[in-house]
Amino acid sequence: MVVLDPAHGGTDLGARGTGGIQESDIVMEFAAEVRKALEQQGFQVVQTRQANDNPSFDDRSAIANAQRNAVFITLHIASTGLPGTVRVYVNSDLPAVTTANGFIPWDRAQAPFLGLSRKLGDLVEGMLAQRFKGSPDAAQTATIRQLRTTAAPAIAVEVSSVVVNDRADLDHMAPGVADAIARGTVAFRPLYVVPSTGGVQP
């Protein structure tokens, strides 16, 4: 299963461009394309939001954390960066901690999955770099709140950017981004061995 997270929503508009472009709107369009591409590859897809609402970071993570073999992909549009490029991020290192009963704390749920997240991120970024020149060859690292509490291979995909002159410039990127994410996820599937963690403790 792939949990697809169109970031922001509701009163949280995310990044805003001068031409009225809002990250919270655009990511919904990207999510629809990515979902279609993933389903064509045989994946079951669940979205963290279907409408213009804004679930909390924890609520979004909880959807993936409730599954045994989910992959979590959060979609963003940047305020900065070279227009027409796409960056994939994985979370920075977090010290892995387990409780006496084998649970991992909720606020460090990503720690046991960082290696898998890195593999998924590199595969997806590699696919994106082939289509979108100027994108990095490998996934980048950042301290992303949304990823920290997600107990699954988890990546953030950030498209540049809301400062394009014409919204169509972003719209034209959506099918390519969707195809690259789907291909990267397919390539990741045989590498996905769920780490043995007792579960996630809230």
Question: What is the contact surface with another protein in residues (CB under 8 A)?
Answer: 7-8, 12, 14-16, 23, 57, 76-82, 87, 89, 92-95, 107-108, 136, 138-146, 148, 156, 158, 160-161
**Cβ at position 111, least distance to another protein in Å:** 11
**Cβ at position 158, least distance to another protein in Å:** 5
Phi, psi of 29 (to 5 degrees): -70, -45
Length of the chain (residues): 202
Minimum CB distance to another protein smaller for 45 or for 138? 138
Q: 3-class DSSP state for residue 98? A: coil
Q: Token pair of 64, please?
A: 């993936």
- Contacts with 57 (C-beta within 8 Å, 6 or more apart), sequence order: 145, 146, 149
Minimum CB distance to another protein smaller for 148 or for 183? 148
Residue from 67, 68, 35 nearest 49 by CA: 35
Minimum CB distance to another protein smaller for 7 or for 180? 7
- Residue matched to tokens 């669940």: 46
Minimum CB distance to another protein smaller for 116 or for 156? 156
